[in-house]
Amino acid sequence: MKNTEVRLGIIGLGNMGAAHAQFVREGRVPGLRVAALCSLFEEELVPFSDLPTYTDYRELIGSGEVDAVLIATPHPEHVPMGIAALSAGLHTLIEKPISVNKREGERLVAAHQDKDIVFAAMFNQRTDPRYQKLQYLIASGELGAIQRISWNITDWYRTNQYYASGGWRATWSGEGGGVLLNQCPHQLDLWQWLFGMPQKVRALCQIGRFHEIEVEDAVTAVLEYESGTVGTFVTTTGEAPGVNRLEVAGERGLIVIDENGFRFIRNEESTTEHLKTCKQSFGKPDVWNVSIPFQGQGEQHIGILKNFAAAVLRGEPLIAPAAEGLRSIELANAMLLSGALNETIELPMDGDAYEAWLEERIRTSTGKKPDAPSPSPTTADDFAQSF
């Protein structure tokens, strides 16, 4: 008889871990049951006095109380905890990013030897129907060859209060970076998921431009593809009101995804053919203006949790296999290294060189923080704005 539920252990009960625990305990994720919890901070365990609790993740992993773990701790802890869970034969779901540098991420992925063990990442933006539709239009050839990509994600606005709210935030030792490692793993994952990996990256990473922090809070990057496609990626936590606007120009038209929806300005004829055959100097292809309606942003975190349970119980394909998390990490690492060296970085990048560079940043980390009062408590209702 097959199991009908997965006993889940959650490691880390900050904003994200506590929210995941609440989702499961409310019965919103069929097939998952919270069976044990772990936090270094005993006060975070108090609301869960009805469950086995631990302050050492190794004790939870070896307890026999769980079939799977969800790791929702500060970034540098993801790799050792993930390796320990996989080595113990536990199904593992890990929060983004899977690691802080490419080489450590490769060590984590290499620990996934038993392919009957499910290993997933919390890339919840993949459940958004807008990006799923875009992926279909690209894969089906409806958009034609991609000519240009532009993604401006500047609505990640954060105050000094935010950066002062946790000792691990916005430090090389605590996060391994700033906006690229905390807020933008989602968009970097979507970038590689939709468009594949570039061959070259050149970036300007501004350290503490808007905040009194030691890591980047503003980035402008250029990504070059072997095909000739060029992409620009712009992000910051210091701009308000900010924008989240993705433009993808292909032979068959232009797609724009932003707060106004999903628009496909479709060429009746591909530009490749039109520019060769048009007899007018300033002629353009006729277009159809297509507005594609969507409601909501998909199931997000709950969707990934449901998929994880379904993969464990029924072998359903994962929405976000953890191994794919290496690609977004490599993009972030390449941007940071490019900014630091003022050089173009070719991919695949040298993971050892980046790891050495990051270790030096960690060794000389000052833990610089803005002077701000302690934050008010964050509830599960607004957790999505907290990471």
Instruction: Give the tens place of pLDDT for each residue, 213-262.
Output: 999 999 999 999 999 999 999 999 999 999 999 999 999 999 999 999 99
Q: Note the pTM of the prediction, 2 decimals.
A: 0.92
The number of distinct structural domains making up the chain is 2
Q: What does the H/E/C string look like for the chain?
A: CCCCCEEEEEECCCHHHHHHHHHHHCCCCCCEEEEEEECCCHHHHHHHCCCCEECCHHHHHCCCCCCEEEECCCHHHHHHHHHHHHHCCCEEEECCCCCCCHHHHHHHHHCCCCCCCCEEECCHHHHCHHHHHHHHHHHCCCCCCEEEEEEEECCCCCCHHHHHCCCCCCCCCCCCCCCCCCCCHHHHHHHHHHHCCCCEEEEEEEECCCCCCCCEEEEEEEEECCCCCEEEEEEECCCCCCCEEEEEEECCEEEEEECCEEEEEEECCCHHHHHHHCCCCCCCCCEEEEEECCCCCCCHHHHHHHHHHHHHHHCCCCCCEHHHHHHHHHHHHHHHHHHHHCCCEECCCCHHHHHHHHHHHHHCCCCCCCCCCCCCCCCHHHHHHCC
Q: What integer pLDDT is reported at residue 372 of this predicted model?
A: 60
159 and 253 together in one domain: yes
Domain contains 213: yes
- pLDDT value for 383: 36
358 and 221 belong to one structural domain: yes
On whether both 115 and 138 belong to a single domain, the answer is: no
d(CA 234, CA 254): 19
Same domain, 156 and 287: yes
Quick check: is 384 in a domain? no
Asked, for residue 373, whether it belongs to a domain, the answer is no
Q: Residue 32 domain-assigned?
A: yes
Report if residue 17 sits inside a domain: yes
Quick one: 160 and 305 in the same domain? no
Please indicate, yes or no, whether residues 201 and 182 belong to a single structural domain of this protein: yes
249 belongs to a structural domain: yes
Tell whether 154 and 111 lie within a shared domain.
Answer: no
In this structure, the answer to whether residues 17 and 29 fall within a common structural domain is yes
What pLDDT shows up at residue 2?
64
pLDDT at 371: 73
CATH of the domain at 306: 3.40.50.720
Is the domain of 145 the same as that of 254?
Answer: yes
Residue 382: inside a domain, yes or no?
A: no
Q: pLDDT by residue (tens digit) across 40-83? A: 999 999 999 999 999 999 999 999 999 999 999 999 999 999 99
Same domain, 86 and 183: no
| 379 assigned to some structural domain | no
Q: What is the CATH number of the domain that holds 248?
A: 3.30.360.10
Same domain, 164 and 100: no
156 and 241 belong to one structural domain = yes
Render the burial of 100-131: b for 16+ CB within 10 Å, e for the rest: bbbbbbbebbebbeeeebbbbbbbbbbbbebb
| Residue range(s) defining the domain that contains residue 334 | 128-295+328-363
Residue ranges of the chain whose pLDDT lies below 50? 1, 375, 377-387
